[in-house]
Chains A and B, each alone.
Chain A
Amino acid sequence: MEPLTKKSRLVSNKKLSLLEKIYLPAIFNGMWITVSHLFRRKATIKYPEVKREFSEIYRGQHVLKRDDEGRERCTACGLCAVACPAEAITMVAAERKPGEENRYREEKYAAVYEINMLRCIFCGLCEEACPKEAIFLTKRTVQSEFDRDKFIYGKDILLEPFDPDRRIDISKRQTPGVLEFKKDKRHLHNK
């Protein structure tokens, strides 16, 4: 069989030559390898002082977006929940009452929207499935908690703030490729 890597060696039980028997060349070789690691760039960092740079399109904690007028974009269609391979998303839909037009973008909205962060695998399929550009993954990481219950994030955590200055920027996730993909959808809901 073809060896998969160049690193694999066939085992042989041949007798060691004198040079191999005195070990020293092999030992010096090994010591050369270790000493060369002494000056290499370290794999670890001084964590709290230095933090690793996150990718701009990092897939972390979700955000439920509002539109420009501050209305919730989510219409509780459930496509994200269907798309979710980890079945982390649940929602309860409700009908918009007259007078709530400034709060919800369309006639139907999510009264309850919960993501179980322990189940979530941060694959981003919910974002891909969403026809309303309502859910996005962000650079923020999910913080650790002492209780499992606290990992079920509701709308209070997921929904972005109403204040236009404190909106969460997701433009980095909308790379040209993503925008192109969104256009190619068979049913253009989001006109």
Chain B
Amino acid sequence: MATFLIYKVLLASVILILSLLVAMYSTLIERKVAGWFQDRLGPDRAGLWGLLQPLADGIKLFFKEEFMPNTADKFLYILGPSLTMFIACLTSAVIPWGPDLIVNGKTYSLQVADVNVGILYIFAIVSIGVYGIMIGGWASNNKYSLLGAVRASSQMISYELAMSLSIISIVMMTGSLSMREIVNQQAGLHWNIWVQPLGFLIFLICAFAETNRSPFDLPECETELVGGYHTEYSSMKLGFYLFSEYINMFISGAVMATLFLGGYHFPFIDKLGLSQNVFAAVSFLIFFLKITFFGFIFMWVRWTLPRFRYDQLMRLGWKALIPLAIFNVLITGVVILINK
């Protein structure tokens, strides 16, 4: 029992550190990719290829003046970014990062918690995420922040619906809510994306909206709302908001890879005759590559598409994505019935 606990704590810490590191370097990659898309070189002054840039940014944020508006609600003002960061780090708990490790005859699962309602857990956590933004925007006592917060909450609620609906068809197909089970059913090349392309597209679009990324970055849209919900934030509190966006990106990439791209599975890897632990490591690398691919897509879209107008955003969410997701559920149901 003690080893079990120690192992779980260790795994959780490793995953936490990993997601923080990835988020840290996503900021650099984002700026690099933005530069390349715009025919620039991107930041390369700090360290080799700018590898120390995230460190410099972090240090800068820590040493910035800690400013708090005197009309702000002190408790909620601090709670906002803390909650956002906390929630962003929570989601990774149910994601299966690879096949089991075997050390000294004992099996160690590369998943912090194999909850049998893993998908529900993720949706529950993600929907709490909006509170961090809402509380921060409300507590700042600034009209721009409030507008950003209002936008964020309505946007996230609207897109969560379509997102959950697109997942329902996956759940119907696999007959399970457990992440591990869903991944294992996609072994080889039986990825869900081949049978659920529409569901994948809807989920992808909703993921952009859920992470407040362009073209759905209305909550923080600089051109209209100064900084949106984080207008009044400075120093590391602002850093937490910006940082949690990148963690969310990483996690939603992981969720998409798990649900649609077969998680850590890749054809012919299991036939190479690797020992179990090497196999687990290779599988984890494959999973990581898939997440990186999604991270790149997030950035690619951000530096290509302009921002939606608010009414367009709402129309897309309610009048296009939700009916399409329902239609997808219907088709899936019919196909399952026929194949029975």
Contacts and interface: CB of A to CB of B under 8 A. Distances in A.
B39 A42 contact: yes
Interface stretch (A32-40, A114-122, A172-180): A32-40
Given A31-B300, A46-B44, A37 B305 contact: no
B116 to A, nearest CB: 36
A35 B41 contact: no
Contacts of A8: none
B304 A46 contact: no
B37 interface: yes
Interface string B32-54: 01011111110010000000000
Interface residues of A, number: 15
Nearest to A26: B305
B285 interface: no
A169 to B, nearest CB: 33
A30 interface: yes
Nearest to A28: B304
A27 interface: yes
Contact of B41 (A27, A38, A42): A42
A37 B41 contact: no
Interface of A: 27, 30-31, 33-35, 37-38, 40-46
25 contacts: A27-B304, A27-B305, A30-B304, A31-B301, A31-B304, A33-B304, A34-B303, A34-B304, A35-B37, A35-B300, A37-B37, A37-B38, A37-B39, A38-B36, A38-B37, A40-B39, A41-B39, A42-B36, A42-B39, A42-B41, A43-B40, A44-B39, A44-B40, A45-B41, A46-B41
Interface of B: 33, 35-41, 44, 300-301, 303-305
